[in-house]
Structure 1
């Protein structure tokens, strides 16, 4: 059986196709490219039972990943993160079947490791020597560390106020790290110029087709962990939106494989943003297919501070086609929710994850989420990667003091 059943790349806007065996980035029309697979051929070769004996990492789904030669796989054991029931928080919200998909326990401490693992592996297969990207922090950390493991050079540009821990991860990996006094959109312009001048491999969000393939494994895992029964709602913190696009793509591919029963409804997908940067939410409210650039964006949930996503039309399409929604929350409330999660369930989630839990709470209050529905919230990273978002006055004792 083939290691991968990858077929080709295609443009979701103009339908033009490209080879998966050559370097390709955006379509000639400017759209991101997506990966297509020979799913009809695979459906007769792979069964759900075949997965049981495989290693508990994302490469267990290698037939639905784009790396054609197993020797090119670069891995740190990423994938198969816990799907944890939150009964106490669920009771507090009025959602008894509340689950967290915890990406904070993955290598590099964030879900970005999934995209980096698959993206770097495919870059190795394409004989890439140096990659470049703009980042809000976690993606740069993941891609620089995986590039180091692949003996590949990396150039990373991030906003000057990105979390210090992610900056250190990049520097430790040996990446060529630069800080820009601006937003990720400003970093993106610098990367685009460097790619043009120096011929580096551009791995900016959705400017290469393979990051999304790593991210889609979150959807494959959720389906497998729930014994191929899909939840009613999946909430996802949305900046570039690659994970949400990927989860939708994964569930569509499972439908095509015949691994989901025909009567199963697709989960309603929820794109969660901050009120300080909510271009997807604004577009969804207006029924638009694309978003507008969000001026002066700012939020403590740094990973979703993306004023304009290149794949916004794909995010909105996934939300519309699953009867989902887009919702924005305030920084003040999401930090309060972060504390509630820790005190109810003992989980220290990242601000972006807290935003998604808060969104679930608000959607339950509005009865958009019903009490009997099963809800999966993506926590996309470890809270300890954002120490500056937590600040308490802690009493200091002298030796001999009593409490």
Structure 2
């Protein structure tokens, strides 16, 4: 890796205001998240797909398309290039001839949040940040606490009391300043907002800093590269805060402008939510550009229990502009899918990832997805981090020396 900088500016997708990238910025003055813009023509002239393919299997292989200017600031645990595999048995069960999984459970910290943490923490270090704070449903806080530890940045993490226990332990063991709140991530967000306002702490909340999305977008780069520099027909993504689906859409548009996508088409993006928390789905059904706060939200897919996302308008734009859709699945459907993926294909996926498979099944039954479409489901974390979603039943307890009866 060399010294590099192809960043032009931070840009507001609502009012088009621009900001310098070498200073700390949170939201635009109009309240919108900011997006990083690059000199894509310069990148196109200096970098090729073939050169990138020769680099180490890390998300930093795309460093020209990432916002960190000084390689000494990069904080990495070797994240990126997660498995992209065809699932023939599950595909046959669903009536899909080309069903794939992009498995983000096989990554440091065990979830896709690692990508945002690597790039977000690296840029925070470059900007001289000494302390950050963020609300989280679990995995993001765990990832940011661990990467912050490596960067020598203090991380204050606030998460709901019923967040997955392992994520609390990840924050704690990393030396993070952990706080639990008897409420939702939206309640945690209010606590963080006060800390930021009163003490000037760097706000690492979803989309309140511009760089988490840059790490998440590398999932889009990898899907295209692993798919032979082509795009699949459909990509299904579990949507809470929505940074992943926004990032994948941004990545596809950037690759198009670079001329690196073979066929030039867009994949149809599907925002998948749980029936117990489906603000994006409700907005999409009505053709609206922003969502409303989803009251009394609840789901075992804890990572997508976000009643109101700051970047909802960007999620809906990605869905509309790719002729995609938004769909909600039941708890029963996603837990059934989680078991099917494990029992048929050997992947123990998280409940959020399972929601995408449940959605793929429903959309195939409805005819929205065709049998020969190339379909990618994003599994955003390891199922091992959610042991409470699996109930063991009918298991025999043996006594010492007792033989197992074999039924033929």
Tell me, yes or no, if structure 1 residue 337 matches structure 2 residue 321: no
Match of 2:148 in 1: 147
Per-residue CA deviations over 1:1-23 (Å, capped at 9, x if unaligned) read 86231110000000000010000
**Cα offset for 1:252?**
0.2
Distance 2:256 2:334 in 1: 34
Q: Deviations over 1:91-129 (max 9, x none)?
A: 000111000000000100000000000000000000000
Which segment is superposed worse, 1-10 or 275-284?
A: 1-10
Residue 122 of structure 2: aligned partner: 121
Residues 150-178 of structure 1, C-alpha deviations (whole Å, 9 max, x = no match): 01100000000000000000000001000
Moved more, 281-290 or 48-57: 48-57
Residues of 1 paired with 2:361 and 2:103: CA distance?
18
- How much has 1:260 moved relative to structure 2? 1.6
Aligned residue number for residue 21 of structure 1: 22
Q: Which runs of 4+ in 1 moved over 6 A?
A: none
Determine if contact 1:2/1:63 at 8 Å carries over to the other structure.
no
Tell me the residue number matched to 2:81: 80
Cα offset for 1:264? 2.8
Contact 2:224 2:231 in 1 (8 A): yes
1:188 equivalenced with 2:189 (yes/no): yes
DSSP 3-state at the match of 1:3: coil
Equivalent residue, structure 1, for 2:214: 213
Match of 2:284 in 1: 284
Residue 186 of structure 1 aligns to a residue in which SS?
Answer: helix
After TM superposition, the structure 1 stretch with the greater mean CA deviation from structure 2, 391-400 or 29-38, is 391-400
Q: Aligned-pair distance for 1:38?
A: 0.5
CA–CA separation in structure 1 for the residues paired with 2:333 and 2:84: 24
Distance 1:184 1:205 in 2: 11
Is the contact made by 2:75 and 2:147 (CA closer than 8 Å) also made in structure 1? yes
3-state DSSP of counterpart to 2:133:
strand
Residues 132, 202 of structure 2: 8 Å contact kept: yes
- Give runs of aligned pairs for residues 1-400 of structure 1, distance below 5 A: 3-261=4-262, 263-393=263-393, 394-400=395-401
Number of residue pairs the alignment of both structures matches: 402
Output the aligned Cα RMSD: 0.8
More off after superposition, 50-59 vs 165-174: 50-59
Separation in 1, partners of 2:54, 2:219:
19
TM-score normalized with structure 1 length = 0.99
SS at match of 2:13: coil
How far apart, CA to CA, are the structure 2 residues paired with 1:322 and 1:2? 35
- Partners of 2:61 and 2:205 in 1: CA distance: 26
User: 5+ unaligned residues in a row in structure 2: which ranges?
Assistant: none
SS in 1 for 2:105: helix
Paired residue secondary structure (1:234): strand
Cα distance between partner residues in 1 of 2:63 and 2:4: 6
Q: Quote how far apart the aligned CAs of 1:402 are.
A: 2.0
Partners of 1:4 and 1:135 in 2: CA distance: 31
User: 1:169 & 1:201 partners in 2: Cα distance?
Assistant: 21
Whether the 8 Å CA contact 1:229–1:260 is kept in 2: the answer is yes
- Work out the CA distance in 1 between the residues paired with 2:330 and 2:57: 36
Taking the aligned partners of 2:286 and 2:3, their CA distance within structure 1 comes to 45
Instruction: Select between 285-294 and 331-340 the one with higher mean Cα deviation.
Output: 331-340
Q: For 1:115 and 1:52, how far apart are their aligned partners in 2?
A: 22
Q: Which runs of 5+ in 1 are unaligned?
A: none
The alpha-carbon deviation at position 42 of structure 1 amounts to 1.1
